[in-house]
Amino acid sequence: MTVYEPLKSAALALLKVPPEPEDPFGQRGTLRVFRASPAFWRYRLLGWGIGHAGAVALALVLVVASHGGAHAAKSGAAVHGILLGLEVLGLVVLAVEMAISYAALRLDFEMRWYKVTDRSLRIREGVWIVREQTMTFANVQNVSLSQGPLERLFGFANLEVRSAGGGGHAAQAQEHGAPGLDMHRAVFRGLDDAATIRDLVMARVREARDGGLGDPDDAEEAGPPAPPSAAGRPALLASIREEAAALRRAAEGLGA
């Protein structure tokens, strides 16, 4: 076992992040679990490496410059010792920051979960700030793939699923401390089999619509049914009169 695994367990326990999200609702046996691609990890790691390579280069330039300035000024041993101590402290801080940021990047990659059943999907990502979304297929309006030049180079893509908008879910996002989270936009990031997952999601959407399955929350948000229009009122009144007449005849027959 590497040193990373105990640190990972300790970090998840400290931040109270469950190792895996609960399954979304759906029929037993229909659950499919997907994870981010290793190509997505290499892409993120490259960005991390480029950023920290610049920080290391800058730190080395400052070290060389400080030594050059100290020799030029023929500083005493005390000043030289202070500069050396500051340089060592700066390099230690940089090394600690690199270790922590690397661990956070790896945890962010490993804790991405994409779950799909016959009725709904659930996406969870993040460690410090955990973002979890659940979306029913009956409410999905659009499914699309996106892939930029670097994503094509690394061999992965993103799948975006959108549902109907509404104020209720936006307020719920505010309550959960995620004001920037669009509750009607779910993104499967870093997929190497994005086309396969897209076809699966679209098939689930068709099945949900054909089966007349929907989200119970939508019925609550919709409110009571609208009254009939003026054009439809005569037909409705005629139907009511016919029903009343039939009931009256049935009552007369029972009395006879």
In the prediction, which pLDDT does 230 show? 55
Does 68 share its domain with 181? Answer: no
- Residue 5, in any domain of the structure: no
214 or 209, which is more confident: 209
Residue 174, in any domain of the structure: yes
Rounded-to-integer distance, Cα 224 and Cα 233, Å = 18
Res 157: pLDDT: 97
pTM: 0.70
List the domain range (segments joined by +) for residue 242: 17-36+113-246
3-state helix/strand/coil string of 92-115: HHHHHHHHHHHHHHHHHHHCCEEE
Q: Do 70 and 80 contact (CB within 8 A), yes or no?
A: yes
234 vs 152, more confident: 152
In a domain, 53, yes or no: yes
Same domain, 89 and 175: no
CATH number where 219 lies = 2.30.29
> Is 132 in contact with 124 (CB distance < 8 Å)?
yes
Answer yes or no: do 134 and 81 share one domain. no
If one counts every other C-beta atom within 10 angstroms of the C-beta of residue 163, the result is 21
Instruction: Tell whether 64 and 169 lie within a shared domain.
Output: no
Are the CB atoms for 58 and 51 separated by under 8 Å?
Answer: no
Which of 193, 188, 194, 184 is CA-nearest to residue 140? Answer: 184
Q: What is the pLDDT of residues 22-36, one digit of tens each?
A: 999 999 899 999 999
Say which DSSP state 185 is in. E
Phi-psi region of 74 (alpha: psi -120 to 50; beta: other; left: phi over 0): left
